[in-house]
Amino acid sequence: MPSAPKMTVKIDGNSLTITQLVEVAQNGKKISLSKESREKVKNARLFLETLVHDKKVVYGVTTGFGELCYKLIPKKNILNNCKKIL
């Protein structure tokens, strides 16, 4: 007998429950972003790209973390550094 299809967890910025979070993190449940959430992510990325372009200091983006917070990350390494964190 085929298993029931996995429903996705809709991320809308308002209604995520702990149970849903556990389903995604531990059980591999898929997620989908609402249109509004996609727009917010897009805007946040554009904002960060502007800060990086303008050589602003942004903790954890253009600097290291913790004790390394005073160490600036070269612009060419910022994207790779952010990917490592994720």
For residues 56, 86, 42, 37, the Cα torsion angle rounded to the nearest 10 degrees is -130
Q: Which of 50, 29, 47, 32 is nearest to 21 (CA)?
A: 29
> pLDDT tens digits, the chain, 86 residues: what are they?
555 556 899 999 999 999 999 999 999 999 999 999 999 999 999 999 999 999 999 999 999 989 999 999 999 999 888 888 77
pTM over 0.85: no
